Amino acid sequence: MTQKINDLRDRMIVALDVPTIWDAYRIVSQLGDAASFYKIGYALAFAGGLQLTQQLVAEGKKVFLDLKLHDIGNTVTEGVASLSNLGVDLLTVHAYPQTMRGAVEGRDGADLKLLAVTALTSYDDGDLRDAGYGLAVRDLVRLRAEQARTAGIDGIVCSAAETEIVRDVIGSDMLIVTPGIRPAGSAAGDQKRTLTPGEAIRAGVDHLVVGRPIIRAADPRAAAAAIMDEIAAAS
Ligand SMILES: O=C(O)c1cc(=O)[nH]c(=O)n1[C@@H]1O[C@H](COP(=O)(O)O)[C@@H](O)[C@H]1O
């Protein structure tokens, strides 16, 4: 198991992609000790999720605040500085060099790890072409991982399918965090670059992000426990 993570349960991050904090509370209480790490995205953050963040931290849960910040450097610096005292563990920014440098400046010694989102896992090469990029997914991910390392970012968000390329660039100290995780037989939905939990762990990722396969399961606790079993078997 990766040296950076002490508790095996912390390798699974549950995405609380629900519309209200009451829905979020229901899932957190259903999961109980089956999950130790939660991701709050901007839909929930805009609906009171920043307060929920503090409550989760107070209850001993780890929190990944996924706001995917992107703006001129100065605005990113000020945004990250405002978020630095929330007590969250992880925060996302888009992997543009100015944005990443601004984020590192805004973090200014706070105990907050910054993650750079390289190429969204719902994108394939054609989607990148549509967005005006001239690089294939793997090449863009490699370039952005290099730029993230240079900027002083702590970890990379990519598909687990790119783990080898990214690890080669960033070495073992930085984190690899991978959404687009789908247990065998579960619906991909809008995700295009997916791997199973076991495949992702064997590839060498640090944290998996899992949303719908848990939060939309008939029994979220059983779904989370099954994913944890797969993680444990592959670790
Ligand atoms: O930054 C992220 O967390 C993220 C990056 C990415 O490339 N792909 C991606 O799916 N995510 C997030 O990861 C979660 C995946 O959710 P599910 O597809 O439901 O498992 C969502 O909250 C996405 O916003």
The residue to mutate among 37, 140, 209, 215, having the most atoms of ligand 1 within 8 angstroms of its beta carbon, is 209
193 is in an annotated binding site: no
> Is the pLDDT reported for residue 4 higher than 90?
no
Q: Looking at residue 175, what is its pLDDT?
A: 98
Kindly state if the Cβ of 88 falls inside 6 Å of ligand 1: no
Whether 39 is covered by a domain: the verdict is yes
Does the predicted interface ipTM exceed a cut of 0.90?
yes
196 is in an annotated binding site: no
Kindly state if the Cβ of 211 falls inside 6 Å of ligand 1: yes
Which residue has the least CA distance to atom 6 on ligand 1? 120
What is the average pLDDT across 156-185?
Answer: 97
- SS3 call for 216: coil
Q: How far is residue 190 from each of residues 67, 109, 115, 124, measured CA to CA in Å?
A: 19, 37, 22, 11
Kindly state if the Cβ of 197 falls inside 6 Å of ligand 1: no
Q: How confident is the model at residue 2 (pLDDT cuts 50, 70, 90)?
A: low
- State the catalytic residue, choosing from 61, 66, 154, 206: 66
Return the DSSP state at 119: S
Q: Looking at residue 1, what is its pLDDT?
A: 42
What is the average pLDDT across 176-195?
Answer: 97
Kindly state if the Cβ of 194 falls inside 6 Å of ligand 1: no
Catalytic residue status for 7: no
> Is the pLDDT reported for residue 5 higher than 90?
no
Whether 19 is covered by a domain: the verdict is yes
pTM of the model: 0.97
Whether 3 is covered by a domain: the verdict is no
Domain count, the chain: 1
All residues at 6 or more sequence positions from 17 whose CB lies less than 8 Å from its CB, including other chains: 41, 43, 44, 211, 212, 215
> Is the pLDDT reported for residue 125 higher than 60?
yes
> Which domain range does residue 111 map to?
8-234
For residues 80 and 78, give the distance between their C-alpha atoms in angstroms, rounded to a whole number.
6
Phi-psi region of 204 (alpha: psi -120 to 50; beta: other; left: phi over 0): left
87 is in an annotated binding site: no
Q: Looking at residue 90, what is its pLDDT?
A: 98
DSSP states along 155-198: EEE--GGGHHHHHHHHTTTSEEEE--B--TTS--TT-SS-B-HH
Whether 211 is covered by a domain: the verdict is yes
CATH number for the domain spanning 191: value is 3.20.20.70
Q: Looking at residue 183, what is its pLDDT?
A: 97
Q: Are 53 and 223 in contact (CB under 8 A)?
A: no
Whether 1 is covered by a domain: the verdict is no
Catalytic residue status for 190: no
The residue to mutate among 27, 89, 121, having the most atoms of ligand 1 within 8 angstroms of its beta carbon, is 121
Kindly state if the Cβ of 15 falls inside 6 Å of ligand 1: yes
Kindly state if the Cβ of 66 falls inside 6 Å of ligand 1: yes
Residue-wise pLDDT tens digits, 6-55: 899 999 999 999 999 999 999 999 999 999 999 999 999 999 999 999 99
Catalytic residue status for 66: yes
For residues 4 and 170, give the distance between their C-alpha atoms in angstroms, rounded to a whole number.
14
